[in-house]
């Protein structure tokens, strides 16, 4: 008991002596309530938004295959050519039918003009002795017939124009082109083979649309939002990405919902590859935390120096788990306490201290 009093008196004496010293410059940080984030490790799979077979829109014999598996193609690059001979003949046939339809329309227009002149002459004879009501009726009927023939001819011309457009479209589609920038990973067509409408000829993947799909267990769903951080380590490189979409579909077997992360362009990522990631979970409640730099392992356990009225006060602490650059504080500190995070190794209890400017204390 006596020795303890001596120790206390010595400490008070030392603190009183240091109180008259010049304050030491230290870095300080606030003890604060922080939202706690945790990371959960999951396995994701690289998927592509654009990937699959490219089909032929027409039927015909394959003349030429211009690509092989692994080829990089740009949008509109030709990949497969269907024999154009029959397609070109269809275009010429449609052109002939259009010329015929135009000629027929011209004939009906001439007949209509002739019928109109006949009706005009019949009407001019209305007040003469040679007027015939039957002839007037015939002239009126001729007008009706000529107009009907003209309408039919005009419709035939429109139909011929449509058939020509379809034939020209089929000729263009005889050259099957890349619908997007990507890489060929499969070729099904071979020269000489006959393909029908809808037959797949080439398989492609758009490497610019690769994403990482991660099955997120439903118990974590409320702690992940669009923008949540995802840490990906691949090929010795660490990338910090963010959740871009949450898919509203749940796997009934695993009770997991897919989340998507957009991947940067890289040869490291190929469709179907599995990657391990750490998804950052947002805490539901805030907890008291302090900077890891404030911790000192003293002879009697873990402690920090608080800044109180310009003096360093030793304070034992009980800490919880590590969260990023901070520790959860279970006891010993309160929200708003200022703890020394720089220069604390050389401090002694009661020593006068002064806080550095914020920028310097964190540098």
Angle at 279 between CA 276 and CA 281, to 5 degrees: 155
69 and 45 both lie in a single domain: no
* Cα Rg of the chain, angstroms: 43
Same domain, 65 and 184: yes
The encoded tokens of residue 37 equal: 């984030």
What was the pLDDT predicted at 18? 47
Q: Which residues pair with 2 in a beta bridge?
A: none
The CATH number of whichever domain residue 265 belongs to comes to 2.40.30.170
Is 301 domain-assigned? yes
Strand, helix or coil for residue 199: coil
pLDDT in tens, the chain (363 residues): 445 455 444 544 545 554 456 888 999 999 999 877 778 899 999 999 899 999 999 999 999 999 999 999 999 999 999 999 999 999 999 999 999 999 999 999 998 888 888 778 777 777 776 667 777 777 788 888 889 999 999 999 999 999 999 999 999 999 999 999 999 999 999 999 999 999 999 999 998 889 999 999 998 888 898 998 898 887 778 889 999 999 999 999 999 999 999 998 877 788 999 999 989 887 767 889 999 999 998 778 899 999 999 999 999 999 988 877 889 999 999 999 999 999 998 899 999 999 988 765 554
* CA 213-214-220 angle, 5° bins: 145
User: Does residue 138 share a domain with residue 17?
Assistant: no
One domain, residues 139 and 251: no
Sequence-ordered alpha helix ranges (H) in 33-132: 84-124
Residue 201 lies in a domain: no
User: Which residues share a beta bridge with 242?
Assistant: 229
Going by their DSSP bridges, the two strands 24-30 and 353-355 should be labelled as parallel
170 with 82, same domain? yes
Judge whether 71 lies within some domain: yes
Confidence at residue 236, expressed as pLDDT on a 0 to 100 scale: 75
Domain coverage including residue 179: 51-195
CATH of the domain at 298: 2.40.420.20
Decide if 221 is inside a domain.
yes
Last residue of a domain, one of 147, 163, 195: 195
pTM over 0.85: no
pLDDT of residue 148: 92
Do both 149 and 228 map to the same domain?
no
In this structure, the answer to whether residues 303 and 355 fall within a common structural domain is: yes
Same domain, 57 and 190: yes
CA–CA gap between residue 298 and residue 339 (Å, rounded): 16
> Is 202 inside a domain boundary?
no
Q: Determine, yes or no, domain membership for 109.
A: yes
Domain contains 200? no
Domain ends where: 283, 299, 330?
Answer: 283
* pLDDT value for 4: 46
Instruction: Give the per-residue pLDDT at 362.
Output: 55
| Number of structural domains found in the chain | 3
* 57 and 180, same domain (yes or no): yes
Judging by beta carbons within 10 Å of its beta carbon (0-12, 13-18, 19+), is residue 211 exposed, middle or buried?
Answer: buried
Other Cβ atoms closer than 10 A to 188: 17
Q: Do 275 and 151 share a structural domain? A: no
Helix (H, G, I), strand (E, B) or coil at 81: strand
Are 254 and 302 found together in one domain? no
At 196, is the secondary structure helix, strand, or coil?
coil
Cβ–Cβ < 8 Å for 328, 38: no
Q: Are residues 230 and 112 in the same domain?
A: no
Structure confidence at residue 268 (pLDDT): 79
Using the 3D structure, point to which of 264, 283, 302 is the last residue of a domain.
Answer: 283
Question: Quick one: how far is CA 245 from the chain centroid?
Answer: 8
Residue 358's pLDDT is what? 72
Residue 226 falls inside a structural domain: yes
pLDDT of residue 163: 96
Is the CB of residue 347 less than 8 Å from the CB of residue 24? yes
């Amino acid at each position: 008991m006596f020795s303890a009093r001596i120790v206390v008196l010595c400490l008070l004496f030392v603190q009183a002596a240091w109180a008259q010293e010049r304050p030491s410059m230290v870095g300080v940080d606030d003890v604060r309530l922080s939202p706690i984030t945790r990371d959960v490790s999951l396995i994701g799979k690289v998927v592509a938004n654009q990937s699959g077979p490219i089909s032929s829109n027409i039927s015909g014999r394959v003349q030429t295959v211009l690509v092989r598996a692994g080829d990089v193609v740009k949008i509109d690059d030709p990949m497969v050519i269907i024999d154009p001979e029959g397609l070109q003949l269809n275009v010429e046939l449609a052109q002939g039918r259009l010329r015929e339809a135009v000629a027929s329309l011209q004939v009906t227009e001439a007949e209509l003009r002739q019928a109109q002149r006949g009706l005009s002459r019949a009407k001019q004879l209305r007040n003469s002795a040679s007027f015939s009501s039957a002839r007037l009726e015939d002239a009126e009927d001729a007008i009706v017939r000529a107009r009907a023939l003209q309408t039919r001819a005009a419709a035939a011309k429109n139909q011929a124009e449509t058939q020509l457009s379809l034939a020209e479209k089929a000729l263009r589609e005889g050259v099957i082109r890349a619908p997007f920038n990507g890489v060929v990973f499969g070729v099904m067509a071979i020269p000489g083979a006959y393909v029908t409408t809808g037959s797949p000829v080439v398989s492609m993947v758009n490497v610019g649309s690769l994403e990482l799909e991660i099955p997120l267990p439903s118990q974590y769903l409320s702690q992940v939002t669009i923008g949540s951080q995802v840490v990906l380590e691949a090929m010795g490189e660490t990338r910090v990405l963010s959740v871009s979409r949450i898919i509203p579909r749940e796997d009934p077997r695993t009770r997991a919902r897919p989340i998507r992360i957009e991947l940067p362009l890289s040869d490291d990522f190929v469709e179907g590859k599995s990657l391990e990631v750490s998804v950052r979970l947002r805490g539901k409640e805030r907890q008291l935390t302090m900077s890891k730099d404030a911790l000192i392992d003293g002879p009697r356990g873990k402690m920090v120096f608080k800044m109180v009225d310009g003096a360093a006060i030793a304070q034992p602490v009980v800490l919880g788990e590590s969260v990023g650059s901070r520790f959860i504080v279970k006891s010993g500190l309160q929200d708003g306490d200022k703890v020394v995070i720089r220069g604390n190794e050389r401090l002694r209890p009661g020593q006068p201290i002064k806080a550095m400017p914020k920028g310097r204390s964190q540098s």
